[in-house]
Amino acid sequence: VARPDLPLPSDRVWTDPEKLAPYARDEASTGKLPLAVAFPVDASEVAAVMRWASAHRVPVIPRGAGSGLSGAAVPLADAVVLSLEKMNRILSIDPENMTATVEPGVITGDIRRAAAAAGLLYAPIPASLDFCTIGGNVATNAGGLCAVKYGVTREHVLGLEAVLPTGETIVTGGALAKNSTAYNLTQLLCGSEGTLAVIVKIILKLLPLPAETVTMLAPFDSVDALAKAVVTVVSGKVIPATMELLPRAAVRCVLAKHPEYSYPFPEKVASLLLELDGMDANLVAEQATAVAAILQAHGAGEPVVATTPARRAELWTLRKQVRDSIAHTAPYVEADAVVPRAKLPDLVRAADAAGVAAGLEQITYGHAGDGNLHTYFWRGTHDDVAWARASEIALTHLFTATVALGGTLSGEHGLGHLKRDYLPLALAPETIALMKRLKAAFDPAGILNPHKVFP
Amino acid sequence: VARPDLPLPSDRVWTDPEKLAPYARDEASTGKLPLAVAFPVDASEVAAVMRWASAHRVPVIPRGAGSGLSGAAVPLADAVVLSLEKMNRILSIDPENMTATVEPGVITGDIRRAAAAAGLLYAPIPASLDFCTIGGNVATNAGGLCAVKYGVTREHVLGLEAVLPTGETIVTGGALAKNSTAYNLTQLLCGSEGTLAVIVKIILKLLPLPAETVTMLAPFDSVDALAKAVVTVVSGKVIPATMELLPRAAVRCVLAKHPEYSYPFPEKVASLLLELDGMDANLVAEQATAVAAILQAHGAGEPVVATTPARRAELWTLRKQVRDSIAHTAPYVEADAVVPRAKLPDLVRAADAAGVAAGLEQITYGHAGDGNLHTYFWRGTHDDVAWARASEIALTHLFTATVALGGTLSGEHGLGHLKRDYLPLALAPETIALMKRLKAAFDPAGILNPHKVFP
C-alpha cells in the first residue's frame, strides 16, 4: 500500500517509521507498524477519515493513550491508526445537571480534577488514571479502583457522539437521568473496544463529591483469609469504595523497583487496601471501625488507618505502582478474570492451580471487592515454544475455572487480540454469531479495528 | 389464519375470543385481537414457540402484565401473544453476592419484598410496582419514583437469558460487578421493548437496605418555584431518593375518585413529595432539615414531615393513585418527556404551551428530580377528527420543545406504537437506520413485536 492520501493536513498525518513505532504498541503487546497515524482535531475530521477509509477499504484502528492491556489499539495488518489524542478538551462541567461533556482524548485524571474543582465527583478510577484517556476508558468499559461502590465506566456514561465506520455521525443518549427512547446504543458502545464506532464526544454523569474519606491497609497471613473477609464486608451494610488485594509477591516487585518506598507490612502474605467515603465524618469513622472489626475477625492484623490526604496518598503510592512494577520485572501473560464476589476465594485458588498446571509462577492481585483479579504468569526460563504452550495452558486453565465459577474472561481490560481466542470458553456460538451480526450492522465492510474481540 | 398449532399443551394456548380480549390491550391502548395467547412455563417452551413462529412466519408479541403505557405489548396485526406471566419464580436471592435471579413474570414489588427480607434493596420503584412485572420493567427500562438517587432499571440488571426470534437462547452478562467481555447485550436488551429477544431470566443487582427514611410533602404557590427548588436541591450535596411534582389538578383528580383520602394541601398550586434515605438516622434527619430549608428558601410553605412507616405511607397514598385517577377521568394522550434536570422549569412551560397550542387542557406531574414529567392532554369535547389533530399538535409541540431543551421523547415508558411516529423528532435518520439494522441482526424475519418503536 502506498502512502495513504488521508483527508487531513499533512502535519497531522505521520508516516515516518520512527514516529510510527509507538503506535504499533500498547502496554501489553506490539503489532504491525501502521501505514500512517492520523490526528483529527474534531468530529468532522474523524468522519472524513472514515469516509476515506471506507472508499479505499483501508482498516482504521482508533487509539487513545495506548495504555490498554489487551492489544485492542494495536494494528495487526496494514491499517491507519486514528489517534484521538488531539481531541482533548473538557467541553463543559455542568454543576446544575451534574454532567461533564468531554472529548475522547482527555486524560481521565483531568476530568476528576475538573469535576472536583466544581465540588463534584467523576467516580471511576482506573489505575492508569494519570495517563489513560476517557475515550479508551469508554471503549474498554474500564473499571478500576473504586468500582465496588461506584461501578464501572459504563455506569457513568449518559450519552455519546460517535462516527460510524461508514462515516455517518450518530448521537446516543443525552444529559438525562432517564431515557427509554428506542435502542440504548450508549452502553453498547461502552466496552466495544473501538470495533463499532469511533467515539468523538462523551457525556458523563457526575456525583456529589464525598466530604470524608478513610483509607486503611490491613495485613493478612493468607490470601484466602483476606478473600473471605472481603466477601463478608461487601455483603454487609457498608460498601467500601475500594478493596484491593496486594499479595507479598506484588509488594516485593514494587519495592525492588522503588526501594525508596516505605511499606508497613512487607513480609505479610497479603494486605488489603480499603477505602471508605461519604458525606459525614462521624459516620465514615464509625463505618471504618466496624469494617476493621470484620477484617480482624477474619484474621487480619491491626490495620494502618489514614484520614489525611497526605497519609492516604502514602498508602496508595505502592498500590499504584503494582502493575508497572510487575510488567517491567520480566515477560508475562496477564489475565483479567472476574467472578461473582462471593467466589473470590475460589478465583484465588484457580489462579494458583493454573500456575501449577502450566508450570509457571504467578502473581494475582487487584480488585478483590469486585471479584476481579489480575493474574500475571511469568515466563521464567521457558523458550519461545515452551512459553507459547505454557501461557496458553495457564490462560485456558484459569479462564475455564473462572467460567465454571459463573465468571468471565475480562472485568475491565477487554479482549483485544490477546484474549480473543478464549471467547468461546465464555460465550456460546449463538451469542458470538449474534455479536458478529451486530458488528456487521455497524461496519459492513469490516474496516474498523478488525481482528479484535472475536476469534 | 387458522387456529395456530403452537407447540405447547393445549391448556396453555388460549384461542377463545373472550379470553383473548384483555391481551389486545395495555393500559393506554387497544390493538387487534391476537390469534392466540401462549403461556410458556420455561425457556425451552419460549424457544419452541419462537422456532414455530419463525417456521410459520407468525408475529409474536411478548407480554408481561400488560401495564405498559405505550402500546408496546399490543398486537396491531395477526399475531400470537406470548405471555410470560406463568414464568414468575424468584429463583434466588443471594445475600453474599447481593444479587437476585428471577423469571420475567415476577411482580416487581415481590422482588423488593423478597430482597428486603434478606436485608437488601432492589431499588427501582415503578409506580405500577404492585402489578407490573420485572420483565416488562426491563423491556421498557422502567424508571419510577426513586431514580433520582438510584437510577433506572437498566442500571440494576447484571445479566439476562433471552430467546432470539429465531429460537436460539443467548446468555448475557452475569452476577458480576465488572464485565468487559465482548459486546454488552444486557443493556441493549434493556429498553428494547420486546423487539429484539424474549427475556426469560434476569440477574438483578441488590444494594444494602437503607435503615432510615424520611418523607416530606412541601406546598408551593407555583410549579415554576417548585421546579427551581428541585434543581437547587439535586445540584447540592444531598441526592434525595424521590422528588415528585403533584400539581393541584392531579390532586383534584385523585380526591374526586377517592374522597376518603385526606391531603394536607388540596388548594396549593403544587406540592413536592420528597424522600431521603440512608444508613444513619441522625444524618438523614440533618439532611432533611437542610433540604427543607432549601425548599422554603424557594418559596415552599412549611413541609409535612413523616418518619414512621405509617405516616410515610399516608403521604404516598395519594401519589400512587395519580395516574390511575387521571386515566379514568376522561380520554387523553400522554407524553413521557425527559429533559436535563436543570431544564425542568422549561419543560413545565413547554407542556403548558403545548396545551395552549393544541387547544387542550393538560396535567403535568411526576418525576421532577429526574427531569421526567408525564403530561396528560385531555380530549375535552373534541370529535374524533378534531381530537386526532389536536393530540398530534400537542405531542409534536411538546416533543419538539423537549428535544430543543436537550431532552427526548420517553424517559421510562418507551415508544411502543403510540409514540413511534415521533422518533424522527429525537433521532437523526442515520441513527434510526442503524437501529433498524440492529433489529434485523436479531430478527431477520421481522416476526418479534413488529410495528413498534420505529415509524
Distance CA A407, CA B314 (A): 44
Q: Does B411 touch chain A (CB under 8 A)?
A: yes
Q: Which chain B residues have a beta carbon less than 8 Å from that of A175?
A: 340, 406
Are B170 and A431 inside 8 Å of each other by CB?
Answer: yes
Q: Does B231 touch chain A (CB under 8 A)?
A: yes
Q: Which chain B residues have a beta carbon less than 8 Å from that of A237?
A: 119, 208, 211, 279
Cβ distance A57 to A445 under 8 Å? yes
Are B412 and A97 inside 8 Å of each other by CB?
Answer: no
Spatial neighbors of B269 by CB under 8 A, at least 6 apart, are B220, B221, B222, B223, B247, B248
The number of residues making up chain B comes to 455
Which among B177, B283, B440 is the nearest to A341, CB-wise? B177
Test the B interface: residue of A163, A181, A334, A427 with most B CBs within 10 Å: A181
Q: Which chain A residues have a beta carbon less than 8 Å from that of B180?
A: 140-143, 152, 191, 336, 410-415
Q: Which chain B residues have a beta carbon less than 8 Å from that of A455?
A: none
pTM to 2 decimal places: 0.97
Are A185 and B140 inside 8 Å of each other by CB?
Answer: no
Cβ distance A70 to A418 under 8 Å? yes
Are A438 and B183 inside 8 Å of each other by CB?
Answer: yes
List the grid coordinates of A78.
496494514
Are B178 and A367 inside 8 Å of each other by CB?
Answer: yes
Q: Does A370 touch chain B (CB under 8 A)?
A: yes
- CB contacts under 8 A, A 320-339 vs B, are 336, 338-339
Three-state DSSP class for residue B62:
strand
Distance CA B441, CA A433 (A): 10
Helix runs in A213-300, H state only: 223-234, 248-257, 281-297
Distance CA B212, CA B210 (A): 6
Are A98 and B235 inside 8 Å of each other by CB?
Answer: yes
Mean pLDDT of B400-429: 98
Q: Does A236 touch chain B (CB under 8 A)?
A: yes
- The number of beta carbons lying within 10 Å of the beta carbon of residue A248 is 17
Q: For B284, phi and psi rounded to 5 degrees?
A: -65, -40
**Radius of gyration over alpha carbons of chain A, in Å?**
22
* Integer angstrom CA distances of residue A70 from A136, A311, B183: 12, 34, 15
| Digit-coded pLDDT (tens) for B18-53 | 999 999 999 999 999 999 999 999 999 999 999 999
Q: Examine the pLDDT at B325 and tell me if it is beyond 70.
A: yes
List the grid coordinates of A355.
500456575
Q: State chain B's mean pLDDT as an integer.
A: 96
Q: Which chain A residues have a beta carbon less than 8 Å from that of B426?
A: 181-182
How close are the terminal C-alpha atoms of chain A, in Å? Answer: 26
- The number of beta carbons lying within 10 Å of the beta carbon of residue B455 is 10
List the grid coordinates of A129.
488514571
pLDDT of B2: 57
Which among B177, B440, B441 is the nearest to A147, CB-wise? B177
Are B177 and A413 inside 8 Å of each other by CB?
Answer: no
List the grid coordinates of A343.
467466589
Cβ distance A376 to A363 under 8 Å? yes
Strand order in the sheet with A60-63: A13-14, A36-38, A80-83, A60-63
Test the A interface: residue of B120, B181, B417 with most A CBs within 10 Å: B181
Pairing of strands B13-14, B60-63: unpaired
| Digit-coded pLDDT (tens) for B202-213 | 999 999 999 999
Pairing of strands B90-94, B332-335: unpaired
Q: To which H or E segment does residue A243 belong?
A: strand A242-247
pLDDT of A2: 57
Q: Does B94 touch chain A (CB under 8 A)?
A: yes
Pairing of strands B36-38, B80-83: parallel
Test the A interface: residue of B141, B183, B336 with most A CBs within 10 Å: B183
Query: Long-range pairs for A266-270 at CB < 8 Å and ≥24 separation?
Result: A268/A219, A268/A220, A268/A221, A268/A301, A269/A220, A269/A221, A269/A222, A269/A223, A270/A219, A270/A220, A270/A222, A270/A223, A270/A226, A270/A245, A270/A246
Distance CA A194, CA A73 (A): 8
| Digit-coded pLDDT (tens) for B171-190 | 999 999 999 999 999 999 99
Q: Which chain B residues have a beta carbon less than 8 Å from that of A403?
A: none
Cβ distance B67 to B27 under 8 Å? yes
Residue in chain A lying closest to B120 (CA): A237
Residuewise pLDDT in 10s, chain A (455 residues): 456 899 999 999 999 999 999 999 999 999 999 999 999 999 999 999 999 999 999 999 999 999 999 999 999 999 999 999 999 999 999 999 999 999 999 999 999 999 999 999 999 999 999 999 999 999 999 998 999 999 999 999 999 999 999 999 999 999 999 999 999 999 999 999 999 999 999 999 999 999 999 999 999 999 999 999 999 998 888 999 999 999 999 999 999 999 999 899 999 999 999 999 998 999 999 999 999 999 999 999 999 999 899 999 989 999 999 999 999 999 999 999 999 999 999 999 999 999 999 999 999 999 999 999 999 999 999 999 999 999 999 999 999 999 999 999 999 999 999 999 999 999 999 999 999 999 999 999 999 999 999 99
Distance CA B179, CA A152 (A): 9
Are B181 and A410 inside 8 Å of each other by CB?
Answer: yes
Distance CA A423, CA B79 (A): 37
Shortest distance, CA A6 to any CA of chain B (angstroms): 24
Q: Label residue B4 by pLDDT band (50, 70, 90).
A: confident
Helix runs in B298-444, H state only: 309-320, 322-327, 344-358, 384-404, 423-426, 429-442
pLDDT of A235: 85
CA dihedral A354, A356, A360, A362 (to 10 degrees): 60
Cβ distance B412 to B144 under 8 Å? yes
Are B181 and A430 inside 8 Å of each other by CB?
Answer: no
Q: To which H or E segment does residue A203 belong?
A: strand A198-205
User: Does the model's ipTM exceed the 0.95 cut?
Assistant: yes
Are B434 and A164 inside 8 Å of each other by CB?
Answer: yes
Q: Which chain B residues have a beta carbon less than 8 Å from that of A426?
A: 181-182
Are A180 and B411 inside 8 Å of each other by CB?
Answer: yes
Q: Examine the pLDDT at B1 and tell me if it is beyond 60.
A: no
pLDDT of B235: 85
Shortest distance, CA B381 to any CA of chain A (angstroms): 31
- The DSSP bridge partners found for residue A208 are A120
Single-letter amino acid, residue A178: K
* Integer angstrom CA distances of residue A141 from A126, A136, A194, A379, B226: 10, 8, 11, 29, 38
Cβ distance B82 to B64 under 8 Å? no
Per-residue burial over B26-52, b = 16 or more CB atoms within 10 Å of its CB, e = otherwise: bbbbebeebbbbbbbbebebbbbbbbb
Distance CA B225, CA B269 (A): 10
Mean pLDDT of B109-137: 97
Q: Does A415 touch chain B (CB under 8 A)?
A: yes
Q: Does A93 touch chain B (CB under 8 A)?
A: no
Q: Examine the pLDDT at B136 and tell me if it is beyond 80.
A: yes
Distance CA A146, CA A152 (A): 8
